[in-house]
Homo-oligomer: A and B are copies of this chain.
Amino acid sequence: MSDKFAFEVVCEDATCSARIGKLRTARAELETPVFMPVGTQASVKTQAPSDVAATGSRLILANTYHLMLRPGAELVHELGGVQRFMAWPHALLTDSGGYQVFSLAKLRKLDDDGVTFRSHIDGSRHALSPERSMQVQALLGSDIAMVLDECPPGDAERADVQRALERTTRWAERCLACEAAADQARFGIVQGGSFLDLRVAHLETIASMPFEGLALGGFSVGEAMSVTYELLGELGPRMPRDRPRYLMGVGKPIDLLRAIAAGIDMFDCVLPTRNARNAQALTWNGRVNLKQARHRQDQAPLDARCDCPVCATYTRAYLRHLFAAGEMLGPRLLTQHNLHFYQSLTRAAREAIRERRYASFARDAEAQMFELDEVNTGR
């Protein structure tokens, strides 16, 4: 165990593969399963860092692609790194930048060396190689850096997935060949699309490298969630027991419930923050859309079971009014609630694992969420 990173499994459920881990980075100590709120541009949208910390969160994610373009990695470094820049005193994970290059940038050119692209902001030309990604993440100063990988679309052919996977392996080796930044752990990424044999083989390859943690990339990119759940059931238990397992970019509450059962430890997703800005609250009883007229006179809180400041203070009628009137306070309050809900969900999951009743907890939680929300099944 180094000073900058440690992980140990402290509890395993008997009813499934769920587990509780203790994760320590340079700046935080926390328990897994953990959900990481997304602070894309060094801000968890609408929230002050103290709001995020008040939900219990101690580890957030920031996007390398966005920060390298604006305000620039070198400037962030001069200003003391992302954490000091945004006044977030806890832990931070940065992605490699690759995913956003593929989804946002223009005129990209991808080869073995890396990817060149034009900024979606001002059209300026940039390059991202495995080495530059590690350098940028070192400048950003995150606790956990991700390797650059190639993530093919969800409907990619087997041969394309295979090629992307092989490139991802070569890039992982090049990332590891870079000198590790002080206080920064590095996680490898497993690709392989929806092909179980490719996934298993790539997992073995990446697991054989000295990464502090392992991530599953290339999920939640358009494939059916039933496929994801099935693959997770196979892959989760095969991932190294002594290192954290991170499922990138996932997901809905039910996705977390399912993935935790498969032994996944870490999650990130824009869903709780993005959906909040579209007037959608996530609750123990499913989704609540505050644009609906039925909330107009509703003096109930968003979620009677929730102990967040928003549910303690405001009625649905007022929250609906804020969205109807276009008030920024609406997105802010709903984001606060949704982040609180995700922390409550993972906290309740840990509690259930500790008491060796995770499978029944997840079944009950899912059933309750379905009752009011058939869209949210992902099946």
Contact = CB atoms under 8 A, between A and B. Distances in A.
Q: Chain copies in the assembly? A: 2
A327 B43 contact: yes
A56 to B, nearest CB: 19
Given A85-B317, A318-B85, A329 B46 contact: yes
A299 B71 CA distance: 14
A129 interface: no
Interface in A22-57: 41-43, 45-48
A179 interface: no
B324 A43 contact: no
Nearest to A331: B328
B78 A329 contact: no
Contact of A70 (B47, B321, B328): B321
Interface residues of A, number: 34
A297 interface: yes
A274 interface: no
A331 B46 CA distance: 9
Interface in A277-333: 296-297, 299, 313-315, 317-318, 321-322, 324-325, 327-329, 331-333
Given A46-B332, A318-B85, A332-B332, A325 B78 contact: no
Nearest to A299: B79
Given A85-B318, A297-B78, A70 B325 contact: yes
A86 interface: yes
A201 interface: no
B327 A45 contact: yes
A47, A78, A79, A324, most chain B CB atoms within 10 A: A79
Interface string A343-376: 0000000000000000000000000000000000
Contact of A333 (B48, B315, B317, B321): B48
A75 interface: yes
Interface string A183-200: 000000000000000000
A178 interface: no
Contacts of A47: 329
Given A70-B325, A85-B317, A86-B318, A296 B45 contact: no
Interface string A62-74: 0000100011000
Contact of A45 (B41, B78, B299, B329): B329
18 contacts: A41-B325, A42-B318, A42-B321, A43-B322, A43-B327, A43-B329, A45-B328, A46-B332, A48-B329, A71-B321, A71-B324, A75-B296, A75-B317, A79-B315, A79-B317, A87-B313, A328-B332, A332-B332
Given A79-B297, A79-B299, 4 more contacts: A45-B328, A71-B296, A85-B315, A328-B328
